[in-house]
Structure 1
Amino acid sequence: MNDITFHMIETNGVTLHTASAGPKDGPLAVLLHGFPEFWYGWKSQIKPLADAGYHVVVPDQRGYNLSDKPEGIENYTIDTLRDDIIGLITHFTDDKAVVIGHDWGGAVAWHLATTRPQYVEKLITVNIPHPAVMRKVTPFYPPQWKKSSYIAFFQLPEKPERRLSEDNYRVLDHAIGLSERPALFSREDVDSYKEAWGRKGALTAMLNWYRAIRAGGLGPAVPLKMPVPYRLIWGVNDRALSKKLAKETKRMIPNGDLIFIDDASHWVIHEKPRIVSHLIHEYLQQ
């Protein structure tokens, strides 16, 4: 990752720590991480995109790692998170951007493409349904209730922070499988994640993404017509999100494609990095 440079970019009232790679005159590709990652979560996809000629920009989203962490859940609603990325795009280009998001980063990407399509050339999301589809389907699909139970826990004050930080961030480590999968994550990787989680105010800010759901954090309750073409990539063994949510996204928003990856989980970008990079590149060449 020697070719990656770092910048502090002011956008929408905050400063985002941002990694970038690839030719600065290339088409812009913005990669958005989810919970509980940071820009580093996309490390396996940055070089292939840069080598393909894209100017790759990967922020620590607000609340994460070295980016600003404003207090208050009202600072983490989906519109605010979207506007951070609009400011990032307009900082780097006058044109549209390819936007790629995983988990919560995918939720931001969906919302951006749905409500401000003038900024998005193509959309790729990984293991995240359209937020409005999730809101519509989940109440009537009991298998998803248990999978989503952690979200209710995250609404509590202070207790989630204590739980997530205890025993050297064991719960977060286990969620991704960092220490348990040395073939995928080096000691340096594990240390980098724990350093990011340990930054002052980080855990509360990260959790505020979930707490803002009750303030309209997942956007409109009814799916909107998607004006941007998309590809949804899905590791089939996701323990947090049911395959039905992926299928319903494709059914309700038909102007895109859905690709399932076998023998992969919610963390498919780490488990199958070459396949994910291939699917990204293939779609962008269409």
Structure 2
Amino acid sequence: MSSLATLTHRIIHVNGIALHVALAGSEDAPLVILLHGFPEYWGAWRKQIGPLVDAGFRVAIPDQRGYGNSDKPGSISAYALDTLADDIRELAEHLQAPRFSLVGHDWGGMVAWHLAARDKTAVDRLVILNAPHPASMFLYTLSHPLQMLRSSYIAFFQVPFVPDAVLAARNFALLEKALTRSARPHTFKDAELRAYREAWAQPGAVAAMLRWYRALPLARPHRGLIDAKVRIIWGEADAALEPGLAATALPFCRDADIVRLEKATHWLHHEEPPRVNAALIEFLSPAS
């Protein structure tokens, strides 16, 4: 079955905004919501859609607020962590799934961590790909100088206007390099990069993407123990996040394991889809 051939796209109104959502799979199948990070869009999960649907899941992949074809509110406060989590909770409610599983990468993982801790009865299983728990990232960075250096771009993103212009310059050349130079060679094909540039070219997209970072001072990470079963899949060759960050989330989880991919980078779901998909399906399946 070609699951991408059965992919549908909808505009779904949640939390005062319109989200573009890609959907695949039977409506009565268990729901898995896939959350992308910076600077991606729903297409980041193309290599996971077919295997998950074929394994019996319904898949929903939003362009998160500020990205792709979803709304892009103009205020920084509209990107506070609680608000981002509310988008996803209301999306699940719209899809009539009071209980669902979450898979999040990068910023999508940060949202997923927060939502699973905050709304304990909503999230059944949680899978995190290279995203630190938001309650542990700051202290880890303070005590690990290399991680502080790796995270220095976040300070640049706080500067008004300048990062917006730099990232958009020369047809988004720096954003493209952020993908290709931190991934294994030939991970992102030309057609995929064209699709990324189309997403970045949506009116207001670059500024909206940066508001996720500019709203960091507003974040109030939930520190409660996560009741859902958790799997952390971590690319050890991540140029932005140290391997040690994966384990800092364990004290916030009641039941968690870590799958480490030694040669994978931050873009592990692009680089090693067979291994990532196998780890997802085995963990998300009801018998596990």
Identify whether the pair has TM-score above 0.5, normalized to the shorter chain: yes
2:228 equivalent in structure 1: 228
**1:152–1:31 Cα change, 3 Å:** same
The AA in structure 2 aligned to 1:265 is: T
Contact 2:183-2:267 at 8 Å conserved across structures: no
Local SS of the residue matching 1:173: helix
1:76 equivalent in structure 2: 79
1:277 equivalent in structure 2: 277
The AA in structure 2 aligned to 1:230 is: V
1:165 partnered with 2:171: no
> Aligned partners of 1:100, 1:94: CA distance in 2, in Å?
15
Q: For 1:50-65, list aligned pairs within 5 A.
A: 50-65=53-68
> Aligned partners of 1:72, 1:219: CA distance in 2, in Å?
20
**1:106–1:188 Cα change, 3 Å:** same
The AA in structure 1 aligned to 2:258 is: L
Local SS of the residue matching 1:210: helix
> Aligned partners of 1:143, 1:255: CA distance in 2, in Å?
29
Q: For 1:173-252, list aligned pairs within 5 A.
A: 173-177=176-180, 183-216=186-219, 219-220=221-222, 223-251=223-251
Local SS of the residue matching 1:229: strand
Residue 22 of structure 1: how far off its partner (Å):
0.8
The AA in structure 2 aligned to 1:42 is: W
Question: 5+ residue gaps in structure 2?
Answer: none
TM-score using structure 2 length: 0.94
Residue 250 of structure 1: how far off its partner (Å):
2.5
Residue 136 of structure 1: how far off its partner (Å):
2.7
Q: Which moved more, 1:196-205 or 1:93-102?
A: 93-102
Residue 190 of structure 1: how far off its partner (Å):
1.0
Residue 94 of structure 1: how far off its partner (Å):
3.8
> Aligned partners of 2:138, 2:206: CA distance in 1, in Å?
25
Q: Deviations over 1:136-184 (max 9, x none)?
A: 3222221210011000000011100111111221111111118997743
Paired residue for 1:148, among 135, 138, 151? 151
* Count of equivalent residues: 283
Paired residue for 1:126, among 104, 108, 129? 129
Contact 2:29-2:56 at 8 Å conserved across structures: yes
Contact 2:53-2:59 at 8 Å conserved across structures: yes
Local SS of the residue matching 1:121: strand
1:33 equivalent in structure 2: 36
**1:95–1:147 Cα change, 3 Å:** same
Contact 1:234-1:259 at 8 Å conserved across structures: yes
The AA in structure 2 aligned to 1:128 is: A
1:139 partnered with 2:135: no
Residue 248 of structure 1: how far off its partner (Å):
1.8
The AA in structure 2 aligned to 1:172 is: L
1:114 equivalent in structure 2: 117
Q: Deviations over 1:25-55 (max 9, x none)?
A: 1010100000000000000001111111111
TM-score using structure 1 length: 0.95
> Aligned partners of 2:80, 2:182: CA distance in 1, in Å?
32
Local SS of the residue matching 1:228: strand
**Identity in percent:** 43
1:264 equivalent in structure 2: 264
Paired residue for 1:6, among 9, 15, 22? 9
Q: Deviations over 1:256-281 (max 9, x none)?
A: 00111021100001000111000001
**1:57–1:266 Cα change, 3 Å:** same
The AA in structure 1 aligned to 2:266 is: H
Contact 2:184-2:265 at 8 Å conserved across structures: no
Q: Deviations over 1:225-274 (max 9, x none)?
A: 12221000000011111111112223553520011102110000100011
Question: 5+ residue gaps in structure 1?
Answer: none
